[in-house]
Structure 1
């Protein structure tokens, strides 16, 4: 999955907005004001290796599933600058199938929505 496909898929989620609270280098995707994903070139826009142009996406994840995904995919690592138990960083280097990344995005979105009030949940779920 390339970065444009990732952005498009993230923004296709109901009531999703793009924000830049950490600076223009880090795209933050929120549903009803709650973050469910970040996207940046390298480490939060601070790519250490100038030759690497991989995009990094942070996604919320169930703690057990987070550990399993890290074991399966070398390009899934503990969430960079996030709670490592609840977030994974997915390096968009082409090694993870697009459908799997979309599933991870869907799960992140749903985990955030599940923590909202019933009223907010209903206003989002009506669009699904």
Structure 2
């Protein structure tokens, strides 16, 4: 599955969530989805590669990165 296809699936899933809102607070190249004012999904491109950043609990994120090598820490999302 290619990056744009993954982004399309993520958008479709986000838009099915009750109270999910889409905005572009960081400019037209950064699509952001929020629920109750909290960001849970960001879509953009990094050096021409479509990416998504999906927020989850740190332990769950670490497990996903171990199981799926294509999953990396969110770009500019590490608060450590």
Indicate whether the TM-score tops 0.5.
yes
Q: Which has the higher Rg, Structure 1 or Structure 2?
A: 1
Q: 5+ unaligned residues in a row in structure 1: which ranges?
A: 86-128
Two-structure CA RMSD over aligned residues (Å): 1.8
> Which residue, out of 33, 37, 40, partners 1:33?
37
Separation in 2 of the partners of 1:58 and 1:82?
Answer: 8
Which structure has more helix as a fraction of its residues?
Answer: 1
After the TM superposition, which segments of 4 or more aligned residues of structure 1 sit over 3 Å from their partners?
none
> Which residue, out of 57, 62, 66, partners 1:67?
62
Identify which of structures 1 and 2 has the higher relative contact order when contacts are C-alpha pairs closer than 8 Å and 6+ apart: 1
Give the aligned length.
Answer: 76
2:8 corresponds to 1:4: yes
Separation in 1 of the partners of 2:56 and 2:11?
Answer: 19
Which residue does the alignment assign to 1:58?
53
Q: 5+ unaligned residues in a row in structure 2: which ranges?
A: none
Per-residue CA deviation, residues 45-67 of structure 1 (Å, 9 max, x unaligned), is xx2xx5xxx42111112111111
SS in 1 for 2:78: coil
Separation in 1 of the partners of 2:79 and 2:61?
Answer: 9
